[in-house]
Amino acid sequence: MSDALQSLLDLLDPERIEEDIYRGHSRSAVVPRVFGGQVAAQALVAAGRTVPADRFAHSLHAYFLRTGDPGAPIVYNVDRLRDGRSFTTRRVVAVQHGKPIFTLSASFQTYEEGLEHQAPMPPAPDPATLPTGEERLRSYPHLPADTVERFLEARAAVDLRYVDDPPFGDFGSPREPHSQVWFRTNGKLADDPLLHVVLATYVSDMTLLDSVLLAHGRGGWAVGDVVGASLDHAMWFHRPFRADEWLLYDQESPSTSGGRGLGQARIYTQDGRLALSVIQEGVVRVPREH
């Protein structure tokens, strides 16, 4: 396991400080605020630790309420809303400086046999044929060196490979609002199913709004031509998967309006099984000229 991955696992392991109360910390991100994927992942860990081991996360719905302060701890309060025969529901409120910054509702279910169907996996190149994230980032001379280093530091625990140029790599002309990335952790993980769900939750917030930017030829927060932040985030976990094996993140944007952009995506295992569905809306504003 790489040092970066171990550091990420430590970050996503909030401390239990009282019954149903946990405390997490933050680290540097691409932008000077707490990374949304980190808060969602820590909240899901807190929820999952109050659930029987034979119940697996099948969905989460979250709202980002306030900008997180990376210099202060985050307290996660877990409410045990329901413990049914098949389903368990938890609500988590993340608090900083006495105010809620994030809420998450998560549902867990015991394993059941049932009807099966899925959308087919779209075409995508083998991830082994694609440039690594570092190779691609360092190939763009227009990106400031400090921006590249922040990206690399923030994503060091994850092998994330774009199929085509990301918004910040080739911008100025609108493109189809569709983006694909392959990702996996930089190292093997334990077999705990919650751990793999948590890592996928963390990564899911990295690129989901890329397709919004592509539709308008914008490079995004990396080049300063838009201001953005996550508003809400929803995920459905359909089938078992491993976050340390290649996953295809197929993303698109059906709409942008009112200063908000919507991204939706499906995540497939390399052998074609639909593992997750994701939807996120975010603020996407063009900075005003003064």
d(CA 249, CA 75) in angstroms, rounded, equals: 30
Residue 194 pLDDT: 96
Give the strand order in the sheet containing 87-96.
15-18, 21-24, 74-83, 87-96, 99-110, 55-64, 227-237, 274-285, 260-269, 247-257, 178-185, 158-162
Contacts of 82 (CB under 8 A, 6+ apart): 88, 89
**Which residues does the chain have with pLDDT short of 70?**
28-31, 289-290
d(CA 105, CA 57) in angstroms, rounded, equals: 11
Q: Kindly report the number of other CB atoms within 10 A of residue 143's CB atom.
A: 17
Residue 275 pLDDT: 98
d(CA 142, CA 282) in angstroms, rounded, equals: 26
Eight-state DSSP code of residue 134 = H
d(CA 289, CA 277) in angstroms, rounded, equals: 37
Residue 150 pLDDT: 86
Residue 29 pLDDT: 63
The residues carrying an active-site annotation are 205, 230, 280
Q: 166 near 240, Cβ under 8 Å?
A: no
Residue 2 pLDDT: 85
273 torsion bin: left (phi>0), alpha (psi -120 to 50), beta (else): beta
- First-to-last alpha carbon distance for the chain, in angstroms, is 48
pLDDT digits (tens, 9 = 90+) for 104-137: 999 999 999 999 999 999 999 999 999 999 999 9
d(CA 31, CA 28) in angstroms, rounded, equals: 8
Q: 65 near 27, Cβ under 8 Å?
A: no
